[in-house]
Amino acid sequence: MTSVLKIGGSILTDKTRPQCARMDEIERLAREIAAAASDLVLVHGAGSFGHAPAKKYGLPDRFSPEGLRVTHQSVVKLNRLVVEALVEAGLYAVPVHPFSGVLLREGRIEQMPVSPIEEMVKDGLLPVLHGDVAMDKTRQAGIVSGDQLVPYLARALRAEVIAVGTNVDGVLFQGEVLPVISREDLPRIDAHLGKGSGIDVTGGMRGKLLELLELAESGTSSVIFNAGIAGNITRALSGEELGTRVVRSR
Ligand code: IP8
């Protein structure tokens, strides 16, 4: 049974300060994953390593080879910190950089090599992907958010546990966590969906939710939970109910 876990950049970094990693949180997440992980693909957000340079260079709206290079190199730095912490926690974590293999069309993933990732998981490795820049067939420059990678990987790997860790308790509506949400609830809650803290070029909670609602419509449910609370990552990976479950509409 394969699991896909995403940890948001707001947990791993201070999104208000460029290239500011929260090492204590990265190490905690590594320990929690080590306590629960088997057959796992990890995706992490870019946090201030990605969103700050992307905004500086006007990505993805403006094509800038220098912007692509600088932003990619910056997110690779965060990925290295995450991978090293996971290795330190005893896992066979390996980096997988989307920029090297993803091709977008109109901002959506058109191509991505998933077979190597499948083999890594089968053979006990832990592939660690991240939000990244990517080439776009129609728009030249693009950004591939971890939130778009999650449903793509979940479908391709037929994952059974899909968990998206953020810095809030789930999808909030009028101060309360919605335990379950489907596409039918969207019109009612849309105006209340947070944009997230700090600089975010990929849509915060709304962007995340839209991706997962689409995945749910194809029959695969997922959970959005607070990864900032100790123990929650292990709980989510064990399939425990917490946060908001995103399900298919009735
Ligand atoms: O933090 C964004 O990825 P995300 C990637 O997963 C860049 O949305 C380069 C800003």
CATH number, position 73: 3.40.1160.10
**Which pLDDT does position 202 carry in this prediction?**
67
207 ligand 1 Cβ < 6 A: no
- pTM for the complete prediction? 0.95
Residue 161 · residue 235 · CB < 8 Å? no
pLDDT along the chain (250 residues), means of 10: 96 92 97 91 97 94 96 98 98 98 97 98 98 96 96 97 95 92 92 67 83 96 97 94 95
CA of 67 from ligand 1 middle (Å) equals: 14
**Which pLDDT does position 198 carry in this prediction?**
63
Q: Cis ω on the peptide bond leading into residue 113 (within 30° of 0)?
A: no
Q: Cis ω on the peptide bond leading into residue 60 (within 30° of 0)?
A: yes
Q: Which atom of ligand 1 is nearest to the CA of 149?
A: 6
**Which pLDDT does position 99 carry in this prediction?**
98
59 ligand 1 Cβ < 6 A: no
Pairing of β 3-7 and β 40-44: parallel
Question: Is 220 part of a structural domain of the chain?
Answer: no
Q: Which atom of ligand 1 is nearest to the CA of 71?
A: 9
CA of 59 from ligand 1 middle (Å) equals: 11
Question: Is 62 part of a structural domain of the chain?
Answer: yes
**Which pLDDT does position 199 carry in this prediction?**
66
Distance CA 112, CA 117 (A): 10
User: 69 is in which domain, residue-wise?
Assistant: 3-160+228-243
143 ligand 1 Cβ < 6 A: yes
**Which pLDDT does position 193 carry in this prediction?**
79
**Which pLDDT does position 197 carry in this prediction?**
56
Number of domains in the chain: 1
Question: Is 206 part of a structural domain of the chain?
Answer: no
Question: Is 198 part of a structural domain of the chain?
Answer: no
145 ligand 1 Cβ < 6 A: yes
Question: Is 202 part of a structural domain of the chain?
Answer: no
Element (H, E) at 72: helix 65-88
Backbone dihedral angles phi then psi of residue 45, each to the nearest 5 degrees: -70, 170
Question: Which of 149, 200, 202 most suits a substitution to test ligand 1, by most atoms within 8 Å of the C-beta?
Answer: 202
